[in-house]
Amino acid sequence: MRIVLMIWMMVLAAAAAPAGAASAKPADVCKIEKSLFKSNVQQEGNVCDVHIKRSDLKVSLMGRHLSPELMDLALGATFEHTDPQGAKGVVTGEFALLEDEVNPVIDALRKGQINISAVHNHWMQQEPEVLYLHFQAEGDLASLSHTVYHAMEAVKHQGTVH
């Protein structure tokens, strides 16, 4: 039943797409993000995803050193372009931070009118302790992108940002 439903969804999606849409290359809406975050940007439609692995953090969980990917040790932000001109949009993000990095990052985000939605841990028995800071905002994408970039610069280990 699930396979039949998936096939129907693909047929309906193909029928709804305008002719030639499959071969059309999407516009590069991530120009601002790519200029700031370089090769750390992936585009899907009107969404620009910035993901910078925190390879500078050597963290153990339950006494065992684990990979940054497993523990989601990264600085991440997602920008969605919400108007045809690409000037307005929304940003959401999550940064994995050491305790002494949290306040400087919050200060940088608030300076650019980006709201902090959560600060919490993901894991117990972690050394050093990593806190995950979530944020969100809506507005001018150039301003939001620059604010997030400056918040990343506030992270003590800047080698991960550039």
Residue 1 has pLDDT above 70, yes or no: no
Where exactly are the structural domains of the chain? 30-154
Q: How many CB atoms lie within 10 A of CB 59?
A: 20
E runs forming strands in 30-73? 41-44, 47-53, 60-61, 64-65
Residue 7 has pLDDT above 50, yes or no: no
Q: Could you read off the pLDDT of 148-160 as tens digits, one per residue?
A: 999 999 997 654 4
So what's the pLDDT on residue 157? 64
pTM of the model: 0.79
Percent of the residues in the chain that have a pLDDT greater than 90, as a whole number: 68
Q: Find the Cα–Cα–Cα–Cα dihedral 72, 99, 77, 64, rounded to 10°.
A: -10
